[in-house]
Amino acid sequence: MAALYFLGRLPTNIGPFDLVLLGLAAARLTDIISTDQIMEWLRRPFVKMETTEIAEREVETRTGRGRGLKKVIGDLLSCPWCVGVWVAASLTYAYFLLPAVIWVFILIMAIAEIGSLLQTLSTIMVSIEKYCRGLEAPEKGP
């Protein structure tokens, strides 16, 4: 990679639009890896689910399973922030080293994240509307 940089064949900057797309793609891919059902097969050998009570609510938490490297991988996969760093790094390297190959994947993941954000916003707005109309009480919280 250093050789490509010194030969002037490696891009050295990211435009604002591409930066936003990379951020959205990283967010979507991080969520897929760390929480989505479709990747449970990857997490299962390394992550155990535990139920704990927090503020009178049962909450499922993920922790690393086993010891040594297996636990380290489990702890990594249990932490969306940690997965996000590695996903962002991987996408950024791919963006610079294989732009023609990775561009469409980044675009697809970014569009999927926009859809996910809009769905979340819609769900929140419906909950607020129901609450304002008196159709639904807010959930008991801390």
pLDDT digits (tens, 9 = 90+) for 11-31: 677 889 999 999 999 999 999
Q: Domain locations in the chain? A: 15-132
Residue 105: the pLDDT is 95
CA distance 2 to 125: 49
Residue 65: the pLDDT is 81
Q: Give the number of other CB atoms < 10 A from CB of residue 14.
A: 14
Short-list 14, 7, 70, 81, CA closest to 43? 70
| DSSP classification of residue 19 | H
The 8 Å CB, 24+ separation contacts for 55-59 are: 55/141, 55/142, 56/140, 57/140
Residue 17: the pLDDT is 92
